[in-house]
Structure 1
Amino acid sequence: MGTVAALYRYPVKSMLGEAVHSVTVTESGLSGDRTWALLDGTGAVGSAKHPRKWGALLRCRSRVDDAGGVRAVLPDGVDLPVQDPELGLRLSKLMGRQVFVSAEVPEHGRLERAVPEYQGGVPDAVRESAEVDATGETVTTGGVARGTFFDYGRVHLVTTAALTRMREVYPAGDFDARRFRPNLVVDTGARPGFPEDAWLGSRLRVGEALFRVAVPTPRCVVPTLGHDELPPDPGIMRAVAREHRVPVFDLGRLSCLGVYLEVLEAGTVQVGDVITVEAPGA
Protein backbone atom coordinates (compact mmCIF):
# COMPACT_ATOMS: atom_id res chain seq x y z
CA MET A 1 0.00 0.00 0.00
CA GLY A 2 2.99 2.28 0.13
CA THR A 3 6.61 2.92 1.04
CA VAL A 4 8.42 5.09 3.56
CA ALA A 5 9.24 8.32 1.71
CA ALA A 6 10.83 10.16 4.66
CA LEU A 7 11.66 9.75 8.34
CA TYR A 8 11.92 12.62 10.83
CA ARG A 9 12.68 12.99 14.51
CA TYR A 10 12.65 16.04 16.76
CA PRO A 11 15.08 15.57 19.66
CA VAL A 12 13.95 18.78 21.41
CA LYS A 13 10.19 19.24 21.50
CA SER A 14 8.91 21.94 19.10
CA MET A 15 12.31 22.70 17.61
CA LEU A 16 12.88 21.85 13.97
CA GLY A 17 14.10 18.28 13.69
CA GLU A 18 16.20 16.19 11.34
CA ALA A 19 15.57 13.83 8.47
CA VAL A 20 17.15 10.39 8.90
CA HIS A 21 17.55 7.50 6.47
CA SER A 22 17.27 4.77 9.10
CA VAL A 23 16.09 4.76 12.70
CA THR A 24 15.47 2.34 15.53
CA VAL A 25 11.90 2.22 16.78
CA THR A 26 11.35 1.24 20.42
CA GLU A 27 8.22 1.07 22.55
CA SER A 28 8.87 4.74 23.30
CA GLY A 29 8.83 5.75 19.63
CA LEU A 30 11.67 6.69 17.30
CA SER A 31 15.05 6.63 18.99
CA GLY A 32 16.00 10.20 19.94
CA ASP A 33 12.57 11.70 19.34
CA ARG A 34 11.27 14.32 21.81
CA THR A 35 13.71 13.27 24.49
CA TRP A 36 14.26 16.88 25.62
CA ALA A 37 12.03 19.93 26.05
CA LEU A 38 12.15 23.49 27.28
CA LEU A 39 10.49 24.20 30.62
CA ASP A 40 9.82 27.42 32.45
CA GLY A 41 9.20 28.36 36.05
CA THR A 42 5.43 28.08 35.72
CA GLY A 43 5.56 24.37 34.94
CA ALA A 44 4.80 24.87 31.25
CA VAL A 45 6.37 22.49 28.72
CA GLY A 46 7.64 24.39 25.70
CA SER A 47 5.37 23.85 22.71
CA ALA A 48 4.83 25.98 19.62
CA LYS A 49 1.14 25.17 20.02
CA HIS A 50 1.22 28.41 22.04
CA PRO A 51 3.04 30.55 19.47
CA ARG A 52 3.16 33.76 21.48
CA LYS A 53 5.07 32.02 24.26
CA TRP A 54 7.02 29.36 22.41
CA GLY A 55 6.89 30.10 18.67
CA ALA A 56 10.60 31.01 18.58
CA LEU A 57 11.37 27.31 19.09
CA LEU A 58 10.58 26.79 15.40
CA ARG A 59 13.56 29.03 14.61
CA CYS A 60 15.85 26.53 16.36
CA ARG A 61 16.90 23.08 15.20
CA SER A 62 17.79 19.96 17.19
CA ARG A 63 19.74 16.91 16.09
CA VAL A 64 21.45 13.80 17.39
CA ASP A 65 25.21 13.94 16.87
CA ASP A 66 27.53 11.09 15.92
CA ALA A 67 28.18 10.28 19.58
CA GLY A 68 24.45 9.97 20.33
CA GLY A 69 24.19 13.30 22.13
CA VAL A 70 21.56 15.93 21.37
CA ARG A 71 22.56 19.38 20.13
CA ALA A 72 20.56 22.53 19.43
CA VAL A 73 21.31 25.07 16.71
CA LEU A 74 20.02 28.57 17.47
CA PRO A 75 18.82 31.14 14.92
CA ASP A 76 22.23 32.86 14.93
CA GLY A 77 23.94 29.56 14.05
CA VAL A 78 25.36 28.84 17.53
CA ASP A 79 25.47 25.05 17.97
CA LEU A 80 25.50 23.74 21.57
CA PRO A 81 24.92 20.46 23.42
CA VAL A 82 21.62 20.48 25.27
CA GLN A 83 23.44 19.96 28.58
CA ASP A 84 25.51 23.14 28.15
CA PRO A 85 24.30 25.84 30.62
CA GLU A 86 25.06 28.41 27.93
CA LEU A 87 22.19 27.00 25.86
CA GLY A 88 19.68 27.74 28.62
CA LEU A 89 20.95 31.32 28.88
CA ARG A 90 20.70 31.88 25.14
CA LEU A 91 17.25 30.31 24.92
CA SER A 92 16.07 32.44 27.84
CA LYS A 93 17.14 35.52 25.92
CA LEU A 94 15.39 34.27 22.79
CA MET A 95 12.15 33.54 24.69
CA GLY A 96 12.25 36.73 26.74
CA ARG A 97 12.01 34.89 30.06
CA GLN A 98 13.92 32.28 32.02
CA VAL A 99 13.71 28.78 30.54
CA PHE A 100 15.83 25.67 30.73
CA VAL A 101 16.28 22.46 28.75
CA SER A 102 15.39 19.22 30.48
CA ALA A 103 15.13 15.50 29.78
CA GLU A 104 13.02 15.01 32.92
CA VAL A 105 9.28 15.21 32.41
CA PRO A 106 7.70 17.25 35.22
CA GLU A 107 5.06 15.33 37.13
CA HIS A 108 2.49 18.06 36.63
CA GLY A 109 3.83 19.66 33.47
CA ARG A 110 1.34 21.87 31.64
CA LEU A 111 0.89 21.95 27.88
CA GLU A 112 -0.77 25.11 26.58
CA ARG A 113 -2.51 25.32 23.20
CA ALA A 114 -3.78 28.39 21.38
CA VAL A 115 -7.44 28.05 20.40
CA PRO A 116 -7.97 28.59 16.66
CA GLU A 117 -10.98 30.52 15.41
CA TYR A 118 -12.12 27.90 12.90
CA GLN A 119 -14.42 25.07 13.99
CA GLY A 120 -12.83 21.69 14.58
CA GLY A 121 -9.59 23.11 15.92
CA VAL A 122 -10.45 21.99 19.45
CA PRO A 123 -13.44 20.11 20.90
CA ASP A 124 -16.38 22.41 21.59
CA ALA A 125 -16.32 21.61 25.30
CA VAL A 126 -12.65 22.54 25.48
CA ARG A 127 -13.26 25.77 23.57
CA GLU A 128 -15.88 26.77 26.13
CA SER A 129 -13.36 26.39 28.97
CA ALA A 130 -10.55 28.31 27.27
CA GLU A 131 -9.11 31.41 28.93
CA VAL A 132 -7.12 34.44 27.81
CA ASP A 133 -3.63 34.36 29.35
CA ALA A 134 -1.09 37.10 30.05
CA THR A 135 0.05 37.11 26.41
CA GLY A 136 -3.47 37.99 25.23
CA GLU A 137 -3.87 34.57 23.60
CA THR A 138 -6.91 32.38 24.18
CA VAL A 139 -5.52 29.06 25.34
CA THR A 140 -6.48 25.71 26.76
CA THR A 141 -4.29 23.86 29.21
CA GLY A 142 -3.71 20.13 29.43
CA GLY A 143 -0.81 17.78 30.01
CA VAL A 144 1.69 15.77 28.03
CA ALA A 145 1.34 12.01 27.65
CA ARG A 146 2.32 10.43 30.96
CA GLY A 147 6.07 10.16 31.42
CA THR A 148 6.88 11.67 28.01
CA PHE A 149 7.09 14.97 26.15
CA PHE A 150 4.64 13.72 23.51
CA ASP A 151 1.24 15.35 23.24
CA TYR A 152 -0.41 11.98 22.70
CA GLY A 153 0.87 9.37 20.24
CA ARG A 154 4.56 8.49 20.17
CA VAL A 155 4.71 7.97 16.41
CA HIS A 156 2.99 10.18 13.85
CA LEU A 157 2.34 9.21 10.23
CA VAL A 158 1.26 11.38 7.28
CA THR A 159 0.46 10.12 3.77
CA THR A 160 1.37 11.76 0.48
CA ALA A 161 -2.23 11.14 -0.63
CA ALA A 162 -3.58 13.42 2.12
CA LEU A 163 -1.08 16.14 1.26
CA THR A 164 -1.95 15.85 -2.43
CA ARG A 165 -5.65 16.18 -1.65
CA MET A 166 -5.06 19.28 0.44
CA ARG A 167 -3.08 20.88 -2.39
CA GLU A 168 -6.12 20.37 -4.59
CA VAL A 169 -8.40 21.94 -1.98
CA TYR A 170 -6.08 24.90 -1.31
CA PRO A 171 -3.69 25.34 -4.27
CA ALA A 172 -2.13 28.48 -2.79
CA GLY A 173 -0.93 26.56 0.26
CA ASP A 174 2.43 24.84 0.55
CA PHE A 175 1.51 21.46 2.04
CA ASP A 176 5.08 20.44 2.73
CA ALA A 177 4.99 17.44 5.08
CA ARG A 178 7.35 19.20 7.48
CA ARG A 179 4.57 21.59 8.52
CA PHE A 180 2.80 18.65 10.16
CA ARG A 181 5.89 17.38 12.00
CA PRO A 182 5.48 13.68 11.11
CA ASN A 183 7.80 10.84 12.01
CA LEU A 184 6.86 8.82 8.92
CA VAL A 185 5.82 10.16 5.54
CA VAL A 186 4.25 7.35 3.52
CA ASP A 187 4.15 7.49 -0.27
CA THR A 188 0.78 6.03 -1.19
CA GLY A 189 0.97 6.85 -4.90
CA ALA A 190 -0.51 9.61 -7.01
CA ARG A 191 -4.16 9.18 -6.07
CA PRO A 192 -5.29 11.86 -3.58
CA GLY A 193 -7.45 11.22 -0.57
CA PHE A 194 -7.15 10.08 3.02
CA PRO A 195 -6.39 6.32 2.88
CA GLU A 196 -5.25 6.39 6.50
CA ASP A 197 -8.89 6.85 7.58
CA ALA A 198 -9.48 3.21 6.64
CA TRP A 199 -6.49 1.99 8.63
CA LEU A 200 -7.81 2.83 12.11
CA GLY A 201 -7.37 -0.20 14.35
CA SER A 202 -5.26 -1.97 11.73
CA ARG A 203 -1.65 -3.04 12.12
CA LEU A 204 1.10 -1.65 9.89
CA ARG A 205 4.28 -3.59 9.22
CA VAL A 206 7.01 -1.07 8.44
CA GLY A 207 10.45 -2.60 8.01
CA GLU A 208 11.17 -4.57 11.17
CA ALA A 209 8.64 -2.64 13.27
CA LEU A 210 4.94 -3.29 13.78
CA PHE A 211 2.47 -0.56 14.64
CA ARG A 212 -1.22 -0.23 15.39
CA VAL A 213 -3.06 2.73 13.92
CA ALA A 214 -4.62 4.29 17.00
CA VAL A 215 -6.44 7.53 16.16
CA PRO A 216 -6.54 10.40 13.63
CA THR A 217 -4.20 13.27 14.49
CA PRO A 218 -6.09 16.45 15.48
CA ARG A 219 -4.24 19.49 14.17
CA CYS A 220 -3.39 22.66 16.05
CA VAL A 221 -1.99 26.00 14.87
CA VAL A 222 1.56 24.69 14.30
CA PRO A 223 1.15 23.84 10.57
CA THR A 224 0.20 27.48 9.94
CA LEU A 225 3.46 28.80 11.42
CA GLY A 226 6.75 29.42 9.64
CA HIS A 227 9.02 26.37 9.53
CA ASP A 228 12.58 26.96 8.38
CA GLU A 229 12.13 28.38 4.86
CA LEU A 230 8.38 27.66 4.83
CA PRO A 231 6.44 30.91 5.44
CA PRO A 232 3.48 31.29 7.81
CA ASP A 233 0.12 30.51 6.21
CA PRO A 234 -3.07 30.66 8.31
CA GLY A 235 -5.00 29.25 5.35
CA ILE A 236 -3.39 25.82 5.77
CA MET A 237 -5.50 24.74 8.73
CA ARG A 238 -8.64 26.53 7.59
CA ALA A 239 -8.43 24.33 4.48
CA VAL A 240 -7.99 21.16 6.56
CA ALA A 241 -10.95 22.21 8.72
CA ARG A 242 -13.13 22.57 5.64
CA GLU A 243 -12.02 19.32 4.03
CA HIS A 244 -11.27 16.78 6.72
CA ARG A 245 -13.08 16.90 10.05
CA VAL A 246 -13.46 13.39 11.41
CA PRO A 247 -14.60 11.83 14.71
CA VAL A 248 -11.89 11.53 17.38
CA PHE A 249 -12.86 9.43 20.42
CA ASP A 250 -15.81 11.21 22.07
CA LEU A 251 -14.46 14.68 21.30
CA GLY A 252 -16.53 15.31 18.19
CA ARG A 253 -15.41 15.95 14.62
CA LEU A 254 -11.97 17.55 14.63
CA SER A 255 -9.68 18.86 11.91
CA CYS A 256 -7.24 16.01 11.31
CA LEU A 257 -4.36 15.18 9.03
CA GLY A 258 -2.33 12.05 9.69
CA VAL A 259 -2.66 9.30 12.29
CA TYR A 260 -1.00 8.38 15.56
CA LEU A 261 0.57 4.94 15.85
CA GLU A 262 1.24 2.66 18.80
CA VAL A 263 4.39 0.53 18.69
CA LEU A 264 3.63 -3.20 18.93
CA GLU A 265 7.05 -4.54 17.93
CA ALA A 266 10.35 -2.68 17.98
CA GLY A 267 12.79 -2.74 15.08
CA THR A 268 14.62 -0.72 12.45
CA VAL A 269 12.72 1.36 9.89
CA GLN A 270 14.36 2.79 6.78
CA VAL A 271 13.41 5.09 3.94
CA GLY A 272 12.16 2.88 1.10
CA ASP A 273 10.69 0.19 3.36
CA VAL A 274 7.47 -1.30 2.04
CA ILE A 275 4.44 -0.87 4.28
CA THR A 276 1.75 -3.51 4.55
CA VAL A 277 -1.60 -3.23 6.30
CA GLU A 278 -3.03 -6.06 8.37
CA ALA A 279 -6.71 -5.93 9.30
CA PRO A 280 -7.62 -5.71 13.01
CA GLY A 281 -7.23 -9.08 14.67
CA ALA A 282 -5.23 -10.51 11.76
Structure 2
Amino acid sequence: MTVVALYRYPVKSMLGESLTRATVTGRGLLGDRAYAVLDTETGSIASAKVPRRWLGLLGFAARFVAEPVPGEPLPPVEITFPDGSVLRSDDEGLDTALSDALGRDVSLVSVPPEGSHFEELWPDIEGLTPQQLAPRALIEATTTRHEDSGEAISRFDISAFGAPGTFFDLSSLHVLTESTLDRLRELAPEATFDPLRYRPNIVLRADSSPDGHGFVENDWPGSTSTIGEEVRVSFSFATMRCVMTTLPQGDLPDDPDTLRTIAKHNRIEIPQIGGVWACAGVYAEVAAGGEIAVGDPHTAPAPA
Protein backbone atom coordinates (compact mmCIF):
# COMPACT_ATOMS: atom_id res chain seq x y z
CA MET A 1 0.00 0.00 0.00
CA THR A 2 0.97 3.62 -0.52
CA VAL A 3 0.13 6.90 1.21
CA VAL A 4 -1.86 8.94 -1.31
CA ALA A 5 -3.13 11.78 0.90
CA LEU A 6 -2.47 13.39 4.28
CA TYR A 7 -4.92 15.69 6.05
CA ARG A 8 -4.68 17.85 9.15
CA TYR A 9 -7.57 19.69 10.82
CA PRO A 10 -6.14 22.55 12.93
CA VAL A 11 -9.57 23.48 14.33
CA LYS A 12 -12.03 20.77 15.30
CA SER A 13 -15.01 20.50 12.89
CA MET A 14 -13.65 23.12 10.49
CA LEU A 15 -12.31 22.16 7.08
CA GLY A 16 -8.63 21.34 7.22
CA GLU A 17 -5.57 21.30 5.01
CA SER A 18 -4.07 18.81 2.59
CA LEU A 19 -0.40 18.06 3.19
CA THR A 20 2.39 16.44 1.21
CA ARG A 21 4.47 15.75 4.33
CA ALA A 22 3.70 15.65 8.05
CA THR A 23 5.28 14.99 11.42
CA VAL A 24 3.61 12.25 13.44
CA THR A 25 3.87 12.40 17.23
CA GLY A 26 2.33 10.36 20.01
CA ARG A 27 -0.72 12.62 19.66
CA GLY A 28 -1.18 12.10 15.92
CA LEU A 29 -0.24 14.49 13.12
CA LEU A 30 1.50 17.48 14.64
CA GLY A 31 -1.07 20.29 14.90
CA ASP A 32 -4.11 18.12 14.26
CA ARG A 33 -7.14 19.33 16.27
CA ALA A 34 -4.88 21.84 17.99
CA TYR A 35 -7.84 24.17 18.53
CA ALA A 36 -11.57 23.93 19.05
CA VAL A 37 -14.50 26.30 19.38
CA LEU A 38 -15.95 26.44 22.89
CA ASP A 39 -19.60 27.29 23.51
CA THR A 40 -19.13 29.54 26.52
CA GLU A 41 -22.77 29.20 27.63
CA THR A 42 -22.89 25.41 27.83
CA GLY A 43 -19.21 24.44 28.18
CA SER A 44 -19.58 22.23 25.13
CA ILE A 45 -16.81 21.83 22.57
CA ALA A 46 -18.53 22.70 19.30
CA SER A 47 -18.89 19.79 16.89
CA ALA A 48 -20.74 19.48 13.60
CA LYS A 49 -21.95 16.13 14.91
CA VAL A 50 -24.91 18.25 16.10
CA PRO A 51 -25.77 19.88 12.74
CA ARG A 52 -28.68 22.02 13.86
CA ARG A 53 -26.41 23.95 16.18
CA TRP A 54 -22.97 23.64 14.59
CA LEU A 55 -23.35 22.92 10.86
CA GLY A 56 -21.89 26.36 10.22
CA LEU A 57 -18.46 25.19 11.38
CA LEU A 58 -18.05 23.25 8.14
CA GLY A 59 -18.22 26.56 6.29
CA PHE A 60 -14.91 27.62 7.85
CA ALA A 61 -11.44 26.45 6.81
CA ALA A 62 -8.32 26.49 8.96
CA ARG A 63 -4.63 26.21 8.15
CA PHE A 64 -1.36 26.96 9.92
CA VAL A 65 0.47 30.07 8.70
CA ALA A 66 3.71 28.07 8.92
CA GLU A 67 4.50 24.39 9.30
CA PRO A 68 4.57 23.33 12.98
CA VAL A 69 7.96 22.26 14.33
CA PRO A 70 8.30 19.52 16.98
CA GLY A 71 9.23 20.92 20.39
CA GLU A 72 8.28 24.48 19.49
CA PRO A 73 5.04 26.43 20.11
CA LEU A 74 2.53 25.94 17.34
CA PRO A 75 2.35 28.80 14.83
CA PRO A 76 -0.90 30.76 14.53
CA VAL A 77 -3.82 29.32 12.60
CA GLU A 78 -5.43 31.26 9.77
CA ILE A 79 -9.22 30.86 9.65
CA THR A 80 -11.16 31.61 6.48
CA PHE A 81 -14.80 32.52 7.23
CA PRO A 82 -17.74 31.51 5.01
CA ASP A 83 -17.87 35.07 3.62
CA GLY A 84 -14.23 34.85 2.54
CA SER A 85 -12.82 37.06 5.30
CA VAL A 86 -9.71 35.81 7.09
CA LEU A 87 -8.60 36.13 10.72
CA ARG A 88 -5.82 34.49 12.69
CA SER A 89 -5.94 32.71 16.02
CA ASP A 90 -3.85 35.53 17.53
CA ASP A 91 -6.12 38.31 16.27
CA GLU A 92 -7.84 40.19 19.10
CA GLY A 93 -11.28 40.24 17.47
CA LEU A 94 -11.43 36.57 16.51
CA ASP A 95 -13.81 35.37 19.23
CA THR A 96 -16.26 38.17 18.53
CA ALA A 97 -16.18 37.44 14.80
CA LEU A 98 -16.69 33.71 15.39
CA SER A 99 -19.60 34.42 17.74
CA ASP A 100 -21.26 36.71 15.22
CA ALA A 101 -20.83 34.19 12.40
CA LEU A 102 -22.04 31.19 14.40
CA GLY A 103 -24.84 32.93 16.28
CA ARG A 104 -23.62 31.81 19.70
CA ASP A 105 -21.17 33.14 22.26
CA VAL A 106 -18.00 31.17 21.52
CA SER A 107 -14.24 31.36 21.91
CA LEU A 108 -11.33 29.58 20.26
CA VAL A 109 -9.43 27.44 22.78
CA SER A 110 -6.27 25.34 22.59
CA VAL A 111 -6.79 23.35 25.79
CA PRO A 112 -10.08 21.68 26.78
CA PRO A 113 -11.45 23.38 29.90
CA GLU A 114 -12.01 21.08 32.84
CA GLY A 115 -15.35 19.31 32.51
CA SER A 116 -15.79 20.17 28.85
CA HIS A 117 -17.69 17.79 26.63
CA PHE A 118 -19.00 17.33 23.12
CA GLU A 119 -22.37 16.22 21.79
CA GLU A 120 -23.35 13.83 19.01
CA LEU A 121 -26.64 13.39 17.18
CA TRP A 122 -27.89 9.89 16.36
CA PRO A 123 -29.55 10.47 12.98
CA ASP A 124 -32.60 8.48 11.97
CA ILE A 125 -30.84 6.24 9.43
CA GLU A 126 -31.77 2.58 9.27
CA GLY A 127 -29.02 0.35 10.61
CA LEU A 128 -26.97 3.18 12.08
CA THR A 129 -28.19 3.13 15.66
CA PRO A 130 -27.29 -0.28 17.07
CA GLN A 131 -30.13 -2.47 18.25
CA GLN A 132 -28.09 -4.73 20.51
CA LEU A 133 -28.56 -4.31 24.23
CA ALA A 134 -25.07 -2.99 25.09
CA PRO A 135 -24.93 -0.18 22.48
CA ARG A 136 -28.51 0.81 23.17
CA ALA A 137 -27.66 1.07 26.85
CA LEU A 138 -24.65 3.28 26.02
CA ILE A 139 -26.76 5.61 23.90
CA GLU A 140 -29.55 5.79 26.44
CA ALA A 141 -27.11 6.44 29.29
CA THR A 142 -25.44 9.33 27.48
CA THR A 143 -28.52 10.96 25.93
CA THR A 144 -29.09 14.41 27.43
CA ARG A 145 -31.59 15.92 25.01
CA HIS A 146 -33.48 15.34 21.76
CA GLU A 147 -33.96 17.33 18.59
CA ASP A 148 -37.48 18.31 17.56
CA SER A 149 -37.34 15.30 15.21
CA GLY A 150 -37.03 13.03 18.23
CA GLU A 151 -33.44 12.09 17.35
CA ALA A 152 -31.30 11.59 20.44
CA ILE A 153 -28.24 13.68 21.26
CA SER A 154 -25.58 12.09 23.44
CA ARG A 155 -23.05 13.88 25.58
CA PHE A 156 -19.49 12.61 26.03
CA ASP A 157 -16.49 13.93 27.93
CA ILE A 158 -13.95 15.39 25.54
CA SER A 159 -11.01 13.02 25.01
CA ALA A 160 -12.82 10.29 26.91
CA PHE A 161 -11.14 7.73 24.67
CA GLY A 162 -8.35 9.88 23.19
CA ALA A 163 -5.17 11.40 24.58
CA PRO A 164 -5.86 13.47 27.73
CA GLY A 165 -5.98 17.20 27.14
CA THR A 166 -6.76 16.90 23.42
CA PHE A 167 -9.85 17.49 21.31
CA PHE A 168 -9.97 14.00 19.79
CA ASP A 169 -13.26 12.20 20.29
CA LEU A 170 -11.91 8.66 20.19
CA SER A 171 -8.39 8.34 18.82
CA SER A 172 -5.41 10.41 17.72
CA LEU A 173 -5.09 8.98 14.21
CA HIS A 174 -7.65 8.01 11.57
CA VAL A 175 -6.69 5.88 8.55
CA LEU A 176 -8.86 5.22 5.50
CA THR A 177 -8.18 3.25 2.32
CA GLU A 178 -9.29 4.01 -1.20
CA SER A 179 -10.43 0.40 -1.47
CA THR A 180 -13.13 1.12 1.11
CA LEU A 181 -14.23 4.23 -0.78
CA ASP A 182 -14.21 2.32 -4.07
CA ARG A 183 -16.39 -0.42 -2.55
CA LEU A 184 -18.86 2.17 -1.27
CA ARG A 185 -19.00 3.75 -4.72
CA GLU A 186 -19.81 0.34 -6.20
CA LEU A 187 -22.63 -0.10 -3.70
CA ALA A 188 -24.12 3.37 -4.22
CA PRO A 189 -22.89 4.94 -7.48
CA GLU A 190 -25.06 8.04 -7.10
CA ALA A 191 -23.64 8.99 -3.69
CA THR A 192 -20.60 11.22 -3.15
CA PHE A 193 -17.95 9.17 -1.35
CA ASP A 194 -15.24 11.77 -1.14
CA PRO A 195 -12.53 11.11 1.49
CA LEU A 196 -12.99 14.63 2.85
CA ARG A 197 -16.40 13.61 4.22
CA TYR A 198 -14.68 11.13 6.55
CA ARG A 199 -11.94 13.45 7.82
CA PRO A 200 -9.06 10.94 7.71
CA ASN A 201 -5.49 11.82 8.55
CA ILE A 202 -3.97 9.23 6.23
CA VAL A 203 -5.45 7.82 3.03
CA LEU A 204 -3.87 4.66 1.63
CA ARG A 205 -4.10 3.11 -1.81
CA ALA A 206 -4.14 -0.67 -1.81
CA ASP A 207 -2.34 -2.76 -4.40
CA SER A 208 -4.15 -4.78 -7.05
CA SER A 209 -4.11 -8.06 -5.16
CA PRO A 210 -7.38 -9.67 -4.00
CA ASP A 211 -6.52 -8.60 -0.44
CA GLY A 212 -6.58 -4.98 -1.55
CA HIS A 213 -10.28 -4.84 -2.44
CA GLY A 214 -13.27 -3.96 -0.28
CA PHE A 215 -13.38 -2.98 3.38
CA VAL A 216 -9.79 -4.04 4.07
CA GLU A 217 -9.47 -2.03 7.30
CA ASN A 218 -12.05 -4.27 8.97
CA ASP A 219 -9.29 -6.83 9.63
CA TRP A 220 -6.68 -4.42 10.97
CA PRO A 221 -7.67 -3.79 14.63
CA GLY A 222 -5.19 -5.52 16.91
CA SER A 223 -2.37 -5.29 14.37
CA THR A 224 0.56 -2.93 13.77
CA SER A 225 2.23 -1.57 10.65
CA THR A 226 4.91 0.84 9.49
CA ILE A 227 4.34 3.91 7.33
CA GLY A 228 7.39 5.27 5.58
CA GLU A 229 10.70 4.61 7.29
CA GLU A 230 9.92 5.72 10.85
CA VAL A 231 6.26 5.85 11.78
CA ARG A 232 4.73 2.78 13.39
CA VAL A 233 1.04 2.60 14.27
CA SER A 234 -1.15 0.21 16.24
CA PHE A 235 -4.66 -0.16 14.89
CA SER A 236 -7.24 -0.07 17.67
CA PHE A 237 -10.81 -0.35 16.35
CA ALA A 238 -12.96 0.36 13.31
CA THR A 239 -14.15 3.93 12.81
CA MET A 240 -17.82 4.38 13.62
CA ARG A 241 -19.41 6.80 11.19
CA CYS A 242 -21.65 9.68 12.18
CA VAL A 243 -23.91 12.35 10.71
CA MET A 244 -20.93 14.54 9.75
CA THR A 245 -20.28 12.32 6.72
CA THR A 246 -23.64 13.37 5.24
CA LEU A 247 -23.35 17.13 5.67
CA PRO A 248 -22.63 19.76 2.99
CA GLN A 249 -19.00 20.86 3.25
CA GLY A 250 -16.79 22.66 0.77
CA ASP A 251 -18.01 21.63 -2.70
CA LEU A 252 -19.75 18.51 -1.36
CA PRO A 253 -23.57 18.49 -1.11
CA ASP A 254 -25.79 17.15 1.63
CA ASP A 255 -25.93 13.38 0.99
CA PRO A 256 -27.48 10.97 3.54
CA ASP A 257 -26.64 8.02 1.27
CA THR A 258 -22.97 8.37 2.19
CA LEU A 259 -23.90 7.15 5.68
CA ARG A 260 -26.92 5.03 4.80
CA THR A 261 -24.77 2.83 2.54
CA ILE A 262 -22.23 2.18 5.29
CA ALA A 263 -24.98 1.34 7.77
CA LYS A 264 -26.46 -1.15 5.32
CA HIS A 265 -23.28 -2.87 4.11
CA ASN A 266 -20.51 -2.58 6.71
CA ARG A 267 -21.56 -3.02 10.31
CA ILE A 268 -18.63 -4.16 12.45
CA GLU A 269 -18.33 -5.39 16.02
CA ILE A 270 -16.25 -3.13 18.24
CA PRO A 271 -15.30 -5.01 21.43
CA GLN A 272 -13.88 -1.91 23.16
CA ILE A 273 -17.30 -0.25 23.10
CA GLY A 274 -19.60 -3.22 22.69
CA GLY A 275 -21.99 -4.06 19.90
CA VAL A 276 -22.03 -3.73 16.12
CA TRP A 277 -21.66 -0.31 14.49
CA ALA A 278 -21.66 1.21 10.98
CA CYS A 279 -17.97 1.61 10.15
CA ALA A 280 -15.56 2.79 7.46
CA GLY A 281 -11.86 3.23 8.14
CA VAL A 282 -9.86 2.43 11.26
CA TYR A 283 -8.51 4.27 14.27
CA ALA A 284 -4.88 3.94 15.30
CA GLU A 285 -2.49 4.99 18.02
CA VAL A 286 1.10 5.99 17.38
CA ALA A 287 3.68 3.47 18.54
CA ALA A 288 6.64 5.35 17.04
CA GLY A 289 6.60 8.85 15.60
CA GLY A 290 8.53 10.44 12.77
CA GLU A 291 8.04 11.91 9.31
CA ILE A 292 5.65 10.63 6.66
CA ALA A 293 4.95 11.86 3.16
CA VAL A 294 2.62 11.23 0.26
CA GLY A 295 4.13 8.36 -1.71
CA ASP A 296 5.51 6.55 1.33
CA PRO A 297 4.93 2.79 1.50
CA HIS A 298 2.69 1.22 4.11
CA THR A 299 3.59 -2.28 5.20
CA ALA A 300 0.92 -4.93 5.54
CA PRO A 301 -0.49 -4.95 9.07
CA ALA A 302 0.88 -7.69 11.29
CA PRO A 303 -0.43 -9.04 14.61
CA ALA A 304 0.65 -6.88 17.51
- TM-score by length of structure 2 reads 0.88
Give the fraction of aligned pairs with identical amino acids, expressed as a percent: 40
1:132 Cα deviation from its structure 2 partner: 3.2
Looking at structure 1, the residues matched to 299 and 213 of structure 2 have their Cα atoms a distance apart, in angstroms, of: 19
RMSD: 1.6
| 2:220–2:282 contact (8 Å) kept in structure 1 | no
Select 2:92's aligned residue among 85, 98, 106. 85
Looking at structure 2, the residues matched to 39 and 219 of structure 1 have their Cα atoms a distance apart, in angstroms, of: 23
| 2:63–2:78 contact (8 Å) kept in structure 1 | yes
Match of 1:140 in 2: 154
Letter matched to residue 278 of structure 2: S
Q: Does the C-alpha gap of structure 1 residues 105 and 7 become closer, same or farther in structure 2, counting only changes over 3 Å?
A: same
1:184 Cα deviation from its structure 2 partner: 0.4
Alignment of 1:188-267 (within 5 A): 188-189=206-207, 192-207=213-228, 208-249=230-271, 250-267=273-290
110-119 vs 3-12, greater mean Cα deviation: 110-119
Select 1:161's aligned residue among 170, 173, 179. 179
| 2:76–2:90 contact (8 Å) kept in structure 1 | no
Aligned length: 280
Looking at structure 2, the residues matched to 152 and 278 of structure 1 have their Cα atoms a distance apart, in angstroms, of: 21
1:38 Cα deviation from its structure 2 partner: 0.2
Letter matched to residue 180 of structure 1: Y
1:192 Cα deviation from its structure 2 partner: 3.3
| 2:147–2:153 contact (8 Å) kept in structure 1 | no
Secondary structure of the corresponding residue to residue 259 of structure 1? strand
265-274 vs 115-124, greater mean Cα deviation: 115-124
In structure 2, list runs of 5 or more residues that go unmatched.
68-74
Cα displacement string for residues 54-111 of structure 1 (whole angstroms, at most 9, x for unaligned residues): 1101000000112632111101111111132322111111221100000011121111
Match of 2:128 in 1: 120
21-30 vs 128-137, greater mean Cα deviation: 128-137
| 1:11–1:63 contact (8 Å) kept in structure 2 | yes
| 1:226–1:233 contact (8 Å) kept in structure 2 | yes
Instruction: Tell me if 1:29 matches 2:47.
Output: no
Q: Does the C-alpha gap of structure 1 residues 278 and 228 become closer, same or farther in structure 2, counting only changes over 3 Å?
A: closer
In structure 1, list runs of 5 or more residues that go unmatched.
none
Looking at structure 2, the residues matched to 121 and 46 of structure 1 have their Cα atoms a distance apart, in angstroms, of: 22
Letter matched to residue 254 of structure 1: W
Secondary structure of the corresponding residue to residue 141 of structure 1? strand
Q: Runs of 4 or more off by more than 6 Å in structure 1?
A: none
